[in-house]
């Protein structure tokens, strides 16, 4: 232990990590790394004189793991019987496996690499061999080895089992990744920032962080390997930087930066009750995206005009059963009433992609984003779809609700969804249940085939909302959650701008309105172009509302139309971005200096 303490010093050196900015703001706090099966174990060389120390750490981790397992074994045997506790007996056998332990020690002496890495490599080899065995008993030992191995690794790395329900106050959550179901159970208010190894700008960790109004940096690759439980950490969600063990000088610098940013945001909130109207009088709708009803205070505080996207998936997560129609009705009714007289667009269930719901046996597709998801799933499961539609229709009697279908790829899907909706309406009519007979029904345009046939879709929709998070990934063939290719995920790519123009023009041609609810709508650098293309509605995370409003209110519509048409003539996303930023600097310098990097 003493030796370990001595070693702490060099480890507390300041480490600066660059990732992808996912949610704005700055947090200076204490890291809480969540242990995860995909935790990154670095291949780190060690000096010869540290071999003994690494060995001692390993033995200590083994003994601690043994104590933990014995305690669990005792508790389970008492609470659930000896039979159920037998599995932990098998775990103890893995811990005491002489062959495995001596192989780890031999490899450590031979290769002189950090013990975590050596141990994990040996363990993976064992699991590989056993999983290919013809003997069923041996194959079954793989999961025991995996469980015990992770426990040992956790004790070596000093990380903790992930348990997002019981986080301490003011926690900076550091994880390999956070799934939507993880974030759904998290106690709001206790988490003050996220930092993750993987993920990109539109992955759900990023979307959730914005909805919680906390800074986040994703795609940091090795942050889980660089922090210990309790490390000081700075998360700069504006620039996409995370600093582990910051020096007092860095902390002072960031406190000043944090104060500057908070002042900037406070200044913008003054626009709360003003319309999103250009200097020459063109008004657009500026609405907010929400993930759950708990986000509503943020919508109201930031002055959004209604909700342009209510993602309903979280409602279905972390539960063994499906939400009943009544349960959904109560939720949608509450949201409708709180937002009234403004409207709420409820997006029907968008299962799939990176959002899997625990209660469905959905096969893991090879390409989940191209698979059985969203409207495809709902059309195949009319029972689930009808319950949601019926709940929305019933709630529409208590406010202004609109329905929006995700992932429409062509007019046939739209028609099939309409047929089901009409059946639900007929049923409600038969039972004399009141609902808004003129409820608007729109299509999300997030598949290139829908964008290209939006003239056809416009004839059978009341509105469009462009889902750029998906539209960009499909148009550019760039997985939206993969940090390795995040540099290719360009909202300003000419192909994306052209698709957006097609959709807006076709909507107007068909006398319907076109909005945008993807993250691009909240990207301040691109607001002038989107406004100039004629977008009628921007739906953005609540925290982005003030800055987008400030931009809209600072320009003339006639000027931004010219900016948009100039942007369409450029050849690359980088050129578009450069000109967009230059225009923002010139026309709205306060925003440009506050948000552009
Ligand atoms: C989108 O794809 O742009 C969108 C808003 O939907 P989601 O991010 O939930 O896929
Ligand atoms: Mg989408």
Distance, CA 350 to ligand 2 centroid (Å)?
8
* Sign of the four-CA dihedral 537, 543, 546, 552: negative
**Residue 167 DSSP class:** P
- At 1 the pLDDT is 41
Contacts of residue 430, Cβ cutoff 8 Å, sequence gap at least 6: none
Tens-of-pLDDT digits for all 597 residues of the chain?
A: 444 444 444 557 999 999 999 999 999 999 988 765 555 577 788 888 889 999 999 999 999 888 888 887 777 677 666 765 676 777 788 888 888 899 999 999 999 998 988 998 898 888 888 877 777 777 767 767 877 887 888 788 776 555 565 677 788 999 888 876 667 667 777 899 999 988 888 887 888 899 889 999 999 998 988 888 889 999 999 999 999 999 999 999 999 999 999 999 888 988 999 999 999 999 999 999 999 898 999 999 999 999 999 999 888 876 667 889 999 999 999 999 999 999 999 999 998 777 766 555 556 667 888 888 899 999 999 999 999 999 999 999 999 999 999 999 999 999 999 999 999 999 999 999 999 999 999 999 999 999 999 999 999 999 999 999 999 999 999 999 888 899 999 999 999 999 999 999 999 999 999 999 999 999 999 999 999 999 999 999 999 999 999 999 999 999 999 999 999 999 999 999 999 999 999 999 999 887 766
SS3 content of the chain, % helix, strand, coil (to 5): 55, 15, 30
Distance (Å) of CA 172 to CA 36, 167, 176: 16, 10, 13
Burial class (CB in 10 A: 0-12, 13-18, 19+), 570: middle
| Strand 171-175 with 160-161, pairing | unpaired
Measured in residues, the chain has a length of 597
Distance, CA 183 to ligand 2 centroid (Å)?
18
From the CB of 291, is ligand 1 less than 6 Å away?
Answer: no
* Sign of the four-CA dihedral 104, 35, 205, 221: negative
From the CB of 205, is ligand 1 less than 6 Å away?
Answer: no
335, containing H or E segment: helix 325-339
Task: Give SS3 for 34.
Answer: strand
Contacts of residue 518, Cβ cutoff 8 Å, sequence gap at least 6: 202, 446, 466, 467, 468, 469, 470, 471, 472
The residue contributing the CA closest to ligand 1 atom 8 is 469
- At 7 the pLDDT is 47
Domains of the chain: 15-37+163-265 (3.50.30.10), 48-157 (1.10.274.10), 270-595 (3.20.20.60)
Indicate the pTM of the whole model: 0.77
From the CB of 313, is ligand 1 less than 6 Å away?
Answer: no
How far apart CA 355 and CA 117 sit, in angstroms, is 31
From the CB of 278, is ligand 1 less than 6 Å away?
Answer: no
How far apart CA 213 and CA 219 sit, in angstroms, is 19
**Residue 487 DSSP class:** G
Distance, CA 404 to ligand 2 centroid (Å)?
12
- Residues classed as catalytic: 204, 517
- At 135 the pLDDT is 77
């Amino acid at each position: 232990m003493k030796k370990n303490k001595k070693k702490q010093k060099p480890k507390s050196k300041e480490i600066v990590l660059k990732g992808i900015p996912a949610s704005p703001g700055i947090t200076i706090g204490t890291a809480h790394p969540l242990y995860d099966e995909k935790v990154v174990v670095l291949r780190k060389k060690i000096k010869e004189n540290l071999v003994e120390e690494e060995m001692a750490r390993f033995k200590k981790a083994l003994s601690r793991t043994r104590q933990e397992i014995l305690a669990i074994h005792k508790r389970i045997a008492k609470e659930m019987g000896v039979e159920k506790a037998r599995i932990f007996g098998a775990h103890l056998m893995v811990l005491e496996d002489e062959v495995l332990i001596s192989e780890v020690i031999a490899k450590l002496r031979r290769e002189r690499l950090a013990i975590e890495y050596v141990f994990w490599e040996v363990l993976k080899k064992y699991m590989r061999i056993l999983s290919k065995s013809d003997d069923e008993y041996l194959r079954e030992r793989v999961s025991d080895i995996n469980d015990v191995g992770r426990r040992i690794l956790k004790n070596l790395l000093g990380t903790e089992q992930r348990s997002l329900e019981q986080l301490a106050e003011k926690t900076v959550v550091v994880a390999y990744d956070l799934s939507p179901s993880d974030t759904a159970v998290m106690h709001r208010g206790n988490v003050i920032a996220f930092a993750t190894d993987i993920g990109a700008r539109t992955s759900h960790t990023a979307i959730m962080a914005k909805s919680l109004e906390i800074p986040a940096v994703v795609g940091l690759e090795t942050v889980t390997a660089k922090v210990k439980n309790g490390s000081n950490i700075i998360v700069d969600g504006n620039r996409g930087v995370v600093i582990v063990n910051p020096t007092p000088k860095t902390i002072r610098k960031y406190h000043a930066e944090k104060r500057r940013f908070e002042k900037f945001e406070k200044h913008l909130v003054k626009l709360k009750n003003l319309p999103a109207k250009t200097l020459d009088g063109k008004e657009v709708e500026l609405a907010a995206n929400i993930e759950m009803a708990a986000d509503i205070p943020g919508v109201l505080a930031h002055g959004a005009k209604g909700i342009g996207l209510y993602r309903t998936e979280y409602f279905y997560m972390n539960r063994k059963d499906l939400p009943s129609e009544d349960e959904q009705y109560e939720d949608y009714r509450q949201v409708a009433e709180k937002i009234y007289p403004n409207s709420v667009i409820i997006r029907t269930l968008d299962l799939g992609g990176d959002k899997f719901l625990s209660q469905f046996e959905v096969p893991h597709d090879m390409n989940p984003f191209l698979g059985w998801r969203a409207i495809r799933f709902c059309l195949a499961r009319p029972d689930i779809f009808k319950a949601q539609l019926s709940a929305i229709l019933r709630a529409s009697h208590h406010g202004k609700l609109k329905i929006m279908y995700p992932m429409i790829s062509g007019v046939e899907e739209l028609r099939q969804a309409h047929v089901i909706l009409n059946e639900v309406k007929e049923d409600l009519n038969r039972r004399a249940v009141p609902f808004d007979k003129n409820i608007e029904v729109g299509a999300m345009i997030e598949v290139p085939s829908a964008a290209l046939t939006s003239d056809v879709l416009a004839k059978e929709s009341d509105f469009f909302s462009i889902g750029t998070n998906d539209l960009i990934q499909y148009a550019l063939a760039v997985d939206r959650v993969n940090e390795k290719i995040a540099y290719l995920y360009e909202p300003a790519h000419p192909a994306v701008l052209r698709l957006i123009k097609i959709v807006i023009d076709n909507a107007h041609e068909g006398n319907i309105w076109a909005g945008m609810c993807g993250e691009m709508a909240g990207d301040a650098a691109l607001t002038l172009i989107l406004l100039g293309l004629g977008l009628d509605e921007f739906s953005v995370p609540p925290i982005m509302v003030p800055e987008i409003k400030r931009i809209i209110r600072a320009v003339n519509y006639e000027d931004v139309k010219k900016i948009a048409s100039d942007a369409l003539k450029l050849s690359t996303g980088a050129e578009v971005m450069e000109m967009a930023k230059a225009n923002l600097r010139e026309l709205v310098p306060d925003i440009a200096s506050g948000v552009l990097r």
